Amino acid sequence: MVNKTILDNGLRIVSEQIPHAHSVSIGIWVTSGSRHESADMNGIAHFIEHLMFKGTGRRSALDIAREIDAVGGVLNAFTGREYVCYYAKVLSTHLPKAIDLLADIFLNSVFDVDEIEKERKVILQEIDMLEDTPDDFIHDLFYQNFWKGHPLGRPIIGTEESVASLTRDYLLSHRHESYSAENIIVAAAGNLDHDQLLQLVGDAFSVVPQGRQAVPAPLPVHDRGLYRHEKELEQVHLCLGTCALPQNHGRRFEAYILNAVLGGSMSSRLFQEVREKQGLAYSIYSYLASHSDSGSLAVYAGTSQEKVPQVIEIILKEMRRLKSEPLTLSELASAKDQLKGNILLSLESSDNRMSKLAKNEVYFGTYQPLEEIMRGFDRVTCESVLEMSRHLFVDDSLTLVLLGKTNTGNLSVADLKL
């Protein structure tokens, strides 16, 4: 059973009761992420997320760690482009402890000056680590070029320059503006009672001021072209992508099917052709990245320098094929079964159910029942996927980003034709 309550200050509480579960997962979601930052404040949401675990008026960082460990629980956080989440997973009997810890770090973190400087160094090391991990870094580079000049394109973690410039006053001011009640969703799933959850959360979070909802930057327009980022690497890492759909688009199920067939699994067309048949790459896949007002569909591959043109041509060939030939009925059925199975298996985790509750609230404003999602897949036809392919894969829509030894012959923007 799913329940939703809105407190007087505008804070939203959503929960799903799973009677047979032993655990509860609870997350405090703030609907303000990296896309809500100005250029000079890039990385501030992520910096704040780190600092929230460094001590409160009641607990030191060690106290926080010891208390969650003492109940065998997990306490962590992550920052995205449109939200930040602080979450805990505990046995259902320890839900009051989890809420007490989350509320304390959320409301009472002190942002000690010495801790800020230590954490600044940690984040700068994190930036270096990311740049030394090319199969991750390529996706940041793709976003920076795809959404060039827009907050969506900025790295969530920030840059060395922006992180170095963030003062304690800036951090406190951003937290005060962003962490208002109307920007907060408390989502919980597991063996819980909604009325008890409401009492615990209400007691802790009713003091949060209303404030105002975070307003994202204007609708992004993606940049097209070929971008080379030179780096001494054994492989060339590439991302080739186009615009896709926002999270709540009515035809999103066609996009899910399209992505699954193109490169979303080991049986996908790209995996089978590039890796299994021709041995041109160890890793190749496609993925959808959807936001409140926009999205992208991209293909990643890592291959040797001399094989880059061949891999790109295969990707383009499969995109052209998807917009010129309908899927077979067996391909459509397999993709539906794969995606439905993934969703059903994910429901065995209280973490996943909690995240689903929160993201439903962020992007739809209401819960999306499982039955409705399944009907969405059932409505997809071979013809509707063909129409979606023709909508997404159009000439002059592609962005290609290369990372590594990028001297790949005569490859140019003119080659990116669909």
Bridge partners, 29 (sequence order) = 85, 185
CA angle 289, 293, 297 (to 5 degrees): 25
Q: From CA 278, how far away is CA 232, in angstroms rounded?
A: 25
Of the candidates 205, 175, 170, the one whose C-alpha atom is nearest the C-alpha of residue 187 is 205
Q: From CA 150, how far away is CA 114, in angstroms rounded?
A: 33
Please provide the DSSP assignment of 384-413 as one string: HHHHHHHHHS-TT--EEEEEES---TT--G
Active-site entry in 16, 37, 49, 361: 49
Q: Which amino acid is at 158?
A: G
SS3 state of residue 181: helix
Q: Which amino acid is at 301?
A: A
Helix axes 252-263, 308-324, angle to 10 degrees: 140
Count of H helices and E strands in the chain? 15, 11
> Could you identify the residue written with the tokens 């000439």?
395
For residues 367 and 360, the answer to whether their CB atoms sit within 8 Å is: yes
Q: From CA 30, how far away is CA 209, in angstroms rounded?
A: 14
Three-class HEC string of 327-347: CCHHHHHHHHHHHHHHHHHHC
Q: From CA 138, how far away is CA 402, in angstroms rounded?
A: 8
Would you put residue 109 in left (φ > 0), alpha (ψ -120 to 50) or beta? Answer: beta
Of the candidates 210, 277, 161, the one whose C-alpha atom is nearest the C-alpha of residue 8 is 210
SS3 state of residue 234: coil
Biggest distance spanned by C-alpha atoms of the chain: 65
Our answer to whether residue 49 is catalytic in this structure is yes
Q: From CA 175, how far away is CA 358, in angstroms rounded?
A: 20
Catalytic residues: 49
